């Protein structure tokens, strides 16, 4: 376990990174909103394997939250995050105050990624992905990493970032990492801490429902509507679960599908009590 330097200022982080860049070291960035768990740890570990210098950013980005969403109560614990980063061998933590990232308040310049941002979560969170794309662009410009690591747990976010990096020719490799789950199947998320014990006990139904949809596809069901209906039927009996969407989409463009055949993903958003949870599962292409 080695100490990770915490940077709050862009200038100080850039000077520190410059020395490593000049020495020819490969830099990896893991952007997070903190309250780190084993899912984040898997991204840091992968970066540690592939890069010489690993920077973890911890920033609860206000511009990706809508009015009435959980920005104020989003869990924060930098001491815990630092311990996890050090246990995973990260070299630096970039934890800027909001004013460091947005010195003039809301920025005049925003990055919007059309089409891929618009369906799924984009429907109920219309400005969310512009907030994400803007802050990730800023983080990529600040750190200038060779590689940046994102989780497949937030599948649409990963697709938005990949599209943005390709469209803008940003000089970084985007690495997608598999979803880390609790032993009962629930996808790890900082927001799981909002769940009461009763709701937490019901939450694995989301993954079980996704598995039912995937299994139907593997058993030969080609109709996207029928696969989605299987997932919805599995979620219906769960008390206090309100399905926001269940969709079967193309794995790359995220366009809604009528039929599965190529790579596809089943994506869901469910409100359990007051907590909005998202998850997804891949459907393998038909050979």
Q: Is 29 in the site for ligand AMP (CB under 6 A)?
A: no
Residue with tokens 């009528």: 258
Minimal distance, residue 13 CB to ligand AMP, in Å: 18
**Bridge partners (DSSP) listed for residue 150:** 176
Minimal distance, residue 24 CB to ligand AMP, in Å: 27
173-177: strand order across its sheet: 5-7, 92-94, 53-58, 27-32, 147-151, 173-177
CA atoms within 13 A on the CB side of 138: 21
Residues whose CB falls within 8 Å of the CB of residue 66, separated by 6 or more in sequence, listed in order: 125, 126, 127, 128
Q: Is 192 in the site for ligand AMP (CB under 6 A)?
A: no
Q: Is 164 in the site for ligand AMP (CB under 6 A)?
A: no
Q: Is 39 in the site for ligand AMP (CB under 6 A)?
A: yes
Query: DSSP assignment of 203-246, as one string?
Result: TTHHHHHHHHHHHHHHTT--BHHHHHHHHHHHHTTSTTEEEEEE
Active site residue 37: no
- 57 near 94, Cβ under 8 Å? yes
- 33 near 190, Cβ under 8 Å? yes
Helix (H, G, I), strand (E, B) or coil at 39: helix
Q: Is 150 in the site for ligand AMP (CB under 6 A)?
A: yes
User: Residue from 137, 189, 192, 280 that binds ligand AMP (CB under 6 A)?
Assistant: 189
**Bridge partners (DSSP) listed for residue 6:** 93
- 149 near 29, Cβ under 8 Å? yes
Minimal distance, residue 204 CB to ligand AMP, in Å: 13
- Contact region with ligand AMP (CB under 6 A), list: 11-19, 46-54, 175-183, 263-271: 175-183
Backbone torsions φ then ψ of 245, nearest 5 degrees: -155, 150
- Contact region with ligand AMP (CB under 6 A), list: 172-180, 203-211, 220-228, 233-241: 172-180
Given the residues 37, 40, 128, 146, select the one marked as catalytic. Answer: 40
Helix (H, G, I), strand (E, B) or coil at 251: coil
CA–CA separation, 136 and 154 (whole Å): 14
**Lookup: tokens for 36:** 């780190």
Minimal distance, residue 32 CB to ligand AMP, in Å: 4
User: Residue from 4, 42, 91, 214 that binds ligand AMP (CB under 6 A)?
Assistant: 42
Minimal distance, residue 229 CB to ligand AMP, in Å: 27
Q: Which is nearer to ligand AMP, 203 or 260 (CB)?
A: 203
Terminal-residue alpha carbon distance, the chain: 45
**What is the widest separation between alpha-carbon atoms in the chain?**
58
Minimal distance, residue 93 CB to ligand AMP, in Å: 13
- Contact region with ligand AMP (CB under 6 A), list: 70-78, 188-196, 228-236, 265-273: 188-196
- Contact region with ligand AMP (CB under 6 A), list: 182-190, 213-221, 231-239, 273-281: 182-190
User: Residue from 92, 116, 130, 177 that binds ligand AMP (CB under 6 A)?
Assistant: 177
Q: Which is nearer to ligand AMP, 57 or 235 (CB)?
A: 57
Q: Is 101 in the site for ligand AMP (CB under 6 A)?
A: no
Question: Given the rule CB under 6 A, which residues bind ligand AMP?
Answer: 32-33, 39-40, 42-43, 150-151, 153-154, 177, 179-180, 187-190
Q: What amino acid positions are annotated as catalytic residues?
A: 40
């Amino acid at each position: 376990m080695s100490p990770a330097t915490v940077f709050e200022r862009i200038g100080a982080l850039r000077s520190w990174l410059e020395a490593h860049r000049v020495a020819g070291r490969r830099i990896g960035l893991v952007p997070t909103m903190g309250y780190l768990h084993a899912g984040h740890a898997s991204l840091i570990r992968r970066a540690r394997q592939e890069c010489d210098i690993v920077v973890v950013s911890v920033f609860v980005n206000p511009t990706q939250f809508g009015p009435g969403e959980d920005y104020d109560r989003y869990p924060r614990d930098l001491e815990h995050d630092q311990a996890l980063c050090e246990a995973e061998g990260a070299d630096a933590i970039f934890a800027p105050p909001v004013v460091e990232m947005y010195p003039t308040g809301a920025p005049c310049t925003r990055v919007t990624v059309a089409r891929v941002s618009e369906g799924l979560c984009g429907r109920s969170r219309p400005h969310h992905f512009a907030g994400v794309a803007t802050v990730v662009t800023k983080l990529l410009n600040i750190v200038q990493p060779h590689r940046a690591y994102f989780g497949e747990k937030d599948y649409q976010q990963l697709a938005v970032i990949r599209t943005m990096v390709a469209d803008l020719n940003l000089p970084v490799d985007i690495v997608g990492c598999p979803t880390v789950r609790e032993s009962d199947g629930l996808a790890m998320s900082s927001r799981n801490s909002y769940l009461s014990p009763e709701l937490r006990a019901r939450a694995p139904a989301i993954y079980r429902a996704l598995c039912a949809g995937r299994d139907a596809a593997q058993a030969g069901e080609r109709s996207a509507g029928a696969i989605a209906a299987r997932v919805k039927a599995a979620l219906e009996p769960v008390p206090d679960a309100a399905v926001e969407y269940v969709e079967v989409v193309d794995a790359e463009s995220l366009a809604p599908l009528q039929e599965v055949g190529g790579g596809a993903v089943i994506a869901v958003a469910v409100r359990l009590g007051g907590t909005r949870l998202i998850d997804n599962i891949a459907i393998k292409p038909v050979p």
